[in-house]
Structure 1
Amino acid sequence: MTLSLGVDVGGTHTDAVAARDGRVLAWAKRPTSADVASGVASALQALLAEGVEPADVGRVCVGTTHFTNAVLERSSLSRTAVIRLCRPAGTGIPPFSDWPAALRTALDGGSFMISGGLEHDGRLISSLRPEELESVAGELRDRGIKSAAVCGIFANLDGRQELEAASRLKSACPGLEVTVSHEIGRTGLLERENASILNACLVPLARRVLGSLAACVRAAGLRCPVFVSRNNGSLMSCETAARYPIQTFASGPTNSIRGAAVLAGIREGLVLDIGGTSSDLGALVAGYPRPASFAVSMGGVRTNFQLPDILSLPLGGGSLVRGENIGPESVGCELERRAISFGGPDLTATDLAVVAGLVSLGSRRPSVPPESVARGLKLIHGRIREAVERMRTGPQPVRLVAVGGAAFLVPDELPGVSEILRPALGPVANAVGAATARVLGEVDRIVSLESMGREQALETVVETARKRAVAAGADPRTLEVVEVEEIPLAYLPGTSSRFVVRVEGRLE
């Protein structure tokens, strides 16, 4: 079996592992670079220096927070036009409502509400009008807009109207990148529209970044496909990631959760990943991150695309200790230059752990009073206890896997935790998650059961999920249905149910 190289680009370090059939053969950790690609190249070169043969590598799987950071920092975003298919309904709350002013200013390329949209049962509100689309296309050309989001009312039931509108716009505006909402979000017009706008504004950046990633893989002498981590714990091709960069949001914590599951050999429990700047706590359900059951805000924008249920803490190994405060400021990737244990001037959480004998790092033993060390560690452990209590969903004790470069900050005992597991390769669990990820086909759809029976509806949804998994690169012979959920919708007229199906497979 060929090797899989997993690379995870974090805020402090870029981690890489070489794995075969879930077993890690080599690993490396390098500082993250501002341009992403050079840090990835450095990590790959480190693996090759460990004896990994380029000819043995079958794929490179990369996880990155670059696109999340672009939204949070409002940088490198493309001005995006929004075309809502809704008239004569759905005009009460226009696009970009309730967006943070700075983010809207950075990417608002105009809003257009035109004829189209569906009723809750799939019937047309109105048909598309070609003359309206031609008028919109003319304005986009005049404004020099290169990104657009098309969102129709209840388009998640049937996306054909969105696809037709997108096709007409692209024909009239050569070079226009169009995101259609039914491929991004779920039921809920405004949240699905918001998610589509965020995706659309990132597409040009994604093409540049992913292109440079592929180039650095080739420059390392690797002639294999490159895949990108999704936020559901699966993989997608670079081509797919360039179209749907929003699916990389929160892929870092997801990789850690999946990697922890592989390293600890469990499928249920909690995973706490403590890095240099922050900590992420998530739940493992059937081997995958537990999805959030609520609308998610990204950069102050309310969305409804699927994200894992992650609790983030401003606590890491590089967190600065100042009196009674620990964090949120951190030395980040400069730990080995600024922490006292390494001869630097700053007292960090890592220094407290060194003095307490929890870890052996650096060249110096910090001179910190024992009572200050005890007080600082008590504060750190208290934050971790509170986070664990918030993530538990029942009274039964759970197992917790502690991973990340600063996992030594996790105490040996926690209330409500039956066992704390500390895998030897925990510092690179995120890269392990990327290297061992599989492919998922997902469908989240509302179906009217008046025109077809429940069994037929479920069969149709499962088959769609299978096709999506194969289209994403899964070997059809390895497909397995890993989740089926039906939610009857009593609030809709007639008989309708929401079906959520996930099909998993190995990369072909």
Structure 2
Amino acid sequence: MYAIGIDVGGTHTDAALLKESQVAALAKVPTDHGDLFASTRQALEEIWRHYPGDGPVRLQLSTTLSTNAVVEGRGVPTRVVAVPGPGVNLKSLGLPFTVHELQGYIDHRGREAAPLDPAELKGLRALLGTGEGEAVAVVGKFSQRNPSHEQQIAAELTQWYRGTITLGHRLSGRANFPRRMMTAFLNASVAQQQLEFAAMWRRVLEDLDIPEEDVLVLKADGGTMNLADSSERPIETILSGPAASTMGAQALTEREEGSYVIVDIGGTTTDLAVVVDGEVLYERDGAVISGYRTLVPAVLTRSVGLGGDSELHFSADGKITIGPRRAGAPLCLGGKELTPTDAVTALELADVGSRGKAVQALAERAGEFGLTWRELAERILEAFIDQLCAAVRSLYSELENMPLYTVRDVLNPPDLSPQAVVGLGAPAPVFIPRLAQALGLRYEVLPFSAGANAIGAAAAAVTLSLTLHADTELARLTIPELGCREPIERPLFFDLDKARSLAADRLKELGRARGCGEGAEIYVVEEESFQMVRGFHTVGQRHMVRTQLRPQVRRVRG
């Protein structure tokens, strides 16, 4: 069985070909930000030359398409139709999009307290128009406990609306109405682009006559989803680049320490992730991208505008600041501005381009500060390490100050401090030993460090999640991600343990239906349970259990 992983980075697009758990080939091409699809296709064509043609191939993509569309505001015009119910002042939320508010209300237990107004439903056509080239997100406050209002609105829209439609309950079963609106809005805005991306990939695979077994897209939590699912829920693919770094580190590391910091140094940015007691840390509330707070499950990562091709800033006294923007190609490769890569090349720490050009540029700049070119090059590397150290320390300071929500955490707080640095990315062999020394930690530069992201993309496994809501007084359970509402048999005996067990069983069924997750560990991401009391008597219980197939990665060797 072969797997091809492709990771689109800020400077290069990497590809890896795996045969089972063996790295068969690597490829690297420049990233064309004006046409990311062209970069991805070129990387595929390069790596395809190494395919021996003796078996099917699974293609796994880590793409920045949705991420860039969100960050750069290039999604299609999108509006939100919301059913907030009483007591919600949408204007006070300061949402950066147009919201059309409808009457009607599903209460906190999933009961219809007030129906939708048929006249308002019919009036949506005048408000939204035909939707050609546009999108709409439909979100109810408690739709995760009863999606019927969202489904009724969608049934009306599909009769005449030609744009893409996103339903909030299909994206997350968690509470937090503002985050669900934001998640649905962003998803709707990039859905058409993802549909076109999926269609183009199908044409490319036909053109190249690739006998693919499946085409999967990496998600922000390090798992994967198929192309069809990515077209419905493209928002889950945001921040897949940092997730690929994390998966690559887990696939290739030989560290015995249980806690370490993952440092992926690229040409444009450096991504940081954290492993504690052998487990990758995840965002508690969901991914935050370009200031937008979402409910998308994601690896906890932080990106720093610091890379091999970052711009250099010199103060009058010779102090050096690096980044956050990319300067372009380094001078040693024909660029126009001095970069950290030029310093590395001049010091013969890496063989990149013309050393003579790098030395000459450093010498010209060093004269302004009364330094030799070598002294300036060393100072550039020191500045790089100082800023990287500050970023690592800032991340761990942030983690130490995160609130603890459970008694267990308060009584036995985890030791978050790293025992080692695990590095990847083309510049890693130069900078990681210096970073580890500055932090007083051991280190490991991963094998195939220049292509480890693509290896991580190829080695990642499919993951799924779902949320179960149960109300024993109403004898009803809801699984919003599946659009499922059904009665509870013997509600008097339906406790939290049964809710956990049923959620796990349904997740296994979903995994089997999608051909994934066989043997994968199912774990509870989040749960809550409380008694409902009326007239001094317990009348029922409410349970919420969110389960997931734990994101996994195959171990890879050279």
Query: Into which bin does the TM-score normalised by the smaller protein fall?
Result: 0.7 to 0.9
AA of the residue aligned to 1:381:
I
AA of the residue aligned to 1:423:
L
Sort the Cα spacing of 1:472 and 1:315 in 2 relative to 1 into closer, same or farther, 3 A: farther
User: 1:484 aligns to what SS in structure 2?
Assistant: strand
The answer for unaligned runs of 5 or more in structure 2 is 315-319, 363-372, 400-414, 474-490, 534-539, 554-558
Alignment of 1:428 with 2:451, yes or no, is: yes
AA of the residue aligned to 2:194:
A
> Does the CA-based 8 Å contact 1:99-1:300 persist in structure 2?
no
Alignment of 1:5 with 2:15, yes or no, is: no
Instruction: Provide the residue aligned with 1:148 in structure 2.
Output: 136
Instruction: Provide the residue aligned with 2:61 in structure 1.
Output: 62
Alignment of 1:305 with 2:293, yes or no, is: no
Alpha-carbon distance between aligned partners in 2 of 1:130 and 1:474, rounded to the nearest angstrom: 42
Of 313, 320, 327 in structure 2, the residue corresponding to residue 331 of structure 1 is 327
Instruction: Provide the residue aligned with 1:403 in structure 2.
Output: 424
> Does the CA-based 8 Å contact 1:177-1:200 persist in structure 2?
yes
Q: Deviation string for 1:450-499 (max 9, x for gaps)?
A: 65211111112212322343444415xx2323422454467997754543
Identity %: 26
Of 347, 354, 377 in structure 2, the residue corresponding to residue 363 of structure 1 is 354
Sort the Cα spacing of 1:176 and 1:414 in 2 relative to 1 into closer, same or farther, 3 A: same
Alignment of 1:502 with 2:490, yes or no, is: no
Give the C-alpha shift of residue 445 in structure 1. 4.9
5 Å-filtered alignment, 1:97-496, equals 97-100=93-96, 104=97, 108=98, 111-141=99-129, 144=132, 146-170=134-158, 172-185=159-172, 186-224=174-212, 225-265=214-254, 269-284=260-275, 289-294=280-285, 296-323=287-314, 324-332=320-328, 335=329, 339-342=330-333, 344-365=335-356, 366-367=358-359, 368=362, 369-392=373-396, 393=399, 394=415, 396-407=417-428, 408-412=430-434, 413-414=436-437, 418-445=441-468, 447-448=470-471, 451=491, 452-474=494-516, 478-488=518-528, 496=542
Q: Deviation string for 1:13-59 (max 9, x for gaps)?
A: 11111112232111100111222222122212212323x13452421
> Does the CA-based 8 Å contact 1:61-1:229 persist in structure 2?
yes
Alignment of 1:18 with 2:17, yes or no, is: yes
Alpha-carbon distance between aligned partners in 2 of 1:397 and 1:234, rounded to the nearest angstrom: 24
AA of the residue aligned to 2:208:
A
5 Å-filtered alignment, 1:9-88, equals 9-33=8-32, 34-50=34-50, 52-54=51-53, 56-75=55-74, 77-87=75-85
Alpha-carbon distance between aligned partners in 2 of 1:236 and 1:288, rounded to the nearest angstrom: 21
Sort the Cα spacing of 1:226 and 1:276 in 2 relative to 1 into closer, same or farther, 3 A: same
Alpha-carbon distance between aligned partners in 1 of 2:126 and 2:375, rounded to the nearest angstrom: 70
> Does the CA-based 8 Å contact 1:474-1:506 persist in structure 2?
no
AA of the residue aligned to 2:116:
L
AA of the residue aligned to 1:355:
A
AA of the residue aligned to 1:456:
K
Larger radius of gyration: 2
Sort the Cα spacing of 1:242 and 1:487 in 2 relative to 1 into closer, same or farther, 3 A: closer
Give the C-alpha shift of residue 285 in structure 1. 5.7
AA of the residue aligned to 2:511:
A
> Does the CA-based 8 Å contact 1:441-1:502 persist in structure 2?
yes
RMSD between aligned residues: 2.9
AA of the residue aligned to 2:248:
G
User: 2:284 aligns to what SS in structure 1?
Assistant: coil
Alpha-carbon distance between aligned partners in 2 of 1:182 and 1:284, rounded to the nearest angstrom: 31
User: 1:261 aligns to what SS in structure 2?
Assistant: helix
Sort the Cα spacing of 1:417 and 1:159 in 2 relative to 1 into closer, same or farther, 3 A: farther
AA of the residue aligned to 2:456:
G
Sort the Cα spacing of 1:289 and 1:127 in 2 relative to 1 into closer, same or farther, 3 A: farther
Alpha-carbon distance between aligned partners in 2 of 1:274 and 1:203, rounded to the nearest angstrom: 30
Sort the Cα spacing of 1:289 and 1:396 in 2 relative to 1 into closer, same or farther, 3 A: closer
> Does the CA-based 8 Å contact 1:479-1:503 persist in structure 2?
no
Sort the Cα spacing of 1:294 and 1:163 in 2 relative to 1 into closer, same or farther, 3 A: same
TM-score by length of 2: 0.79
Q: Return 207-216 or 445-454, whichever deviates more.
A: 445-454
Of 90, 98, 120 in structure 2, the residue corresponding to residue 93 of structure 1 is 90
AA of the residue aligned to 2:549:
V
AA of the residue aligned to 2:424:
V
| Aligned residue pair count | 486
> Does the CA-based 8 Å contact 1:282-1:311 persist in structure 2?
yes
Q: Deviation string for 1:150-186 (max 9, x for gaps)?
A: 111121223343233323321x225342111112243
TM-score by length of 1: 0.87
AA of the residue aligned to 2:524:
V
User: 1:61 aligns to what SS in structure 2?
Assistant: strand
Give the C-alpha shift of residue 362 in structure 1. 1.8
AA of the residue aligned to 2:167:
V
Give the C-alpha shift of residue 233 in structure 1. 0.8
Sort the Cα spacing of 1:279 and 1:449 in 2 relative to 1 into closer, same or farther, 3 A: farther
The answer for unaligned runs of 5 or more in structure 1 is none
AA of the residue aligned to 1:23:
Q
> Does the CA-based 8 Å contact 1:439-1:472 persist in structure 2?
no
Instruction: Provide the residue aligned with 2:404 in structure 1.
Output: none
Alpha-carbon distance between aligned partners in 1 of 2:40 and 2:132, rounded to the nearest angstrom: 34
Q: Return 249-258 or 117-126, whichever deviates more.
A: 117-126
Alpha-carbon distance between aligned partners in 1 of 2:197 and 2:260, rounded to the nearest angstrom: 34
Sort the Cα spacing of 1:388 and 1:447 in 2 relative to 1 into closer, same or farther, 3 A: farther
Give the C-alpha shift of residue 228 in structure 1. 1.0
> Does the CA-based 8 Å contact 2:10-2:269 persist in structure 1?
no
